[in-house]
Amino acid sequence: MSKEIISVKNVSFTYRDSKKKVLNNISFTVNKGEWVSIVGHNGSGKSTLTKLLNGLLIADDPKNSAIYIDQLLMSENNVWKIRDKIGIVFQNPDNQFVGATVEDDVAFGLENRNVTRSQMLKIVPEVLKEVDMLPYKKTEPQNLSGGQKQRVAIAGILVVNPEIIILDEATSMLDPEGRNEILSIIRQLQKEKDITVLSITHNIEEINKSDRVLVLNRGNLLKIGTPDEIFAEKTLIEEAGLELPFVYQLKEELKRRGLQIPGSIKTEEELVDYLCQ
């Protein structure tokens, strides 16, 4: 189970027209099937990190740093093989819709891999069904809601069976309903297909539900750990510009008023049960 799928070693990155390092000597690993949230202030290097992972950007100093995706070293020869393994859902649902209709868009990844048409005709409806968008097969993007467009984007990366899905603030432009829909679809897929999910997010509830959290601040990796470990460190949370989830806030407030709640309680249901006792 706990097979390493992403391994980042000593990676730094500087954009060409600036002197400041966007990422500073970052190392971490992610296991297969994990859900890892990446958090941090605006401009802390989160999006840059995801672009490094699929080779859209190349890290500084390639001799001393390395990125491995599923045992493959990121290099010019491997970059397309690595992109086959990683699917990214970007922030703006409008700007990542390539096709003129839903099915065209979903087929785009298959077209790029030169899959035959008869196979595409089989795969596309199957994948659209998984994200519950089959009735909209022929619809044009301007007639879809933001949440539906993001579901199409997910379908667009699922057609090529990625090992890793990266959500680059994929739900930040959606309404709460759309956000929950997208997250529950991805959670289900993660379980069914043992997909690894990296999610850049500011949404505290999503962070709370992830397996591990990676905290970035001004290009430095502050900590990587379970949500519990992260939420326990108050200074860390402040530095990363985060808020505590509602349950933790309530626990803090109760503690201040003299009621100790055990650390094992992490969800609203557990807290409700505990308080009723």
Partner 1 sequence: MSKIIIGRYIPGNSIIYKMDPRGKILASFLFIAIIFLANNWITYSILTIFTLLAVIATGLKPKNFWDGVKPFIWIIFFTALLQLFFSSGGKIYWHWGIFTLSSYGLITSIYLFIRFVVIILISTVLTVTTTSLQIADGLEWILTPLKYLKVPVAEIALVMSIALRFVPTLMDETVKIANAQRARGADFNDGSLIQRAKAVIPILIPLFTNSLTVALDLATAMESRGYQENHVRSRYRVLKWSKYDWLNLGYFLLLTLLLMVFRTK
* Binding region for partner 1 (CB under 8 A) out of 16-24, 35-43, 139-147, 262-270: 139-147
Q: Which residues contact 200 (CB under 8 A, 6 or more apart)?
A: 37, 38, 39, 46, 47, 50, 166, 167, 168, 169
Minimum distance between the CB of residue 229 and partner 1, rounded to whole angstroms?
31
The interface with partner 1 within residues 38-67 (CB under 8 A) comprises 51, 54, 56
Size of the chain, expressed as the number of residues it contains: 277
| 33 belongs to the binding site for partner 1 (CB under 8 A) | no
| Cα–Cα distance, 261 to 145 (Å, whole number) | 42
* Binding region for partner 1 (CB under 8 A) out of 15-23, 88-96, 187-195, 230-238: 88-96
Is residue 214 a contact partner of residue 39, using CB atoms and an 8 Å limit?
yes
| 132 belongs to the binding site for partner 1 (CB under 8 A) | no
| 86 strand-pairing partners | 164
| Cα–Cα distance, 109 to 162 (Å, whole number) | 11
CB nearer to partner 1: pick between 23 and 102: 102
| 98 belongs to the binding site for partner 1 (CB under 8 A) | yes
| 145 belongs to the binding site for partner 1 (CB under 8 A) | no
Q: Which of 69, 41, 37, 65 is nearest to 55 (CA)?
A: 69
Query: Residue 138 carries which side chain, given as an amino acid letter?
Result: K
| 103 belongs to the binding site for partner 1 (CB under 8 A) | yes
Q: Please report where in the chains the tokens 């971490």 appear, as a residue.
A: 28
CB nearer to partner 1: pick between 160 and 182: 160
| 13 belongs to the binding site for partner 1 (CB under 8 A) | no
Query: Using CB under 8 A as the criterion, which residues of the chain lie in contact with partner 1 when the complex forms?
Result: 51, 54, 56, 80, 83-84, 86-88, 90, 92, 94-101, 103-104, 107-117, 120, 124, 140-142, 156-157, 160
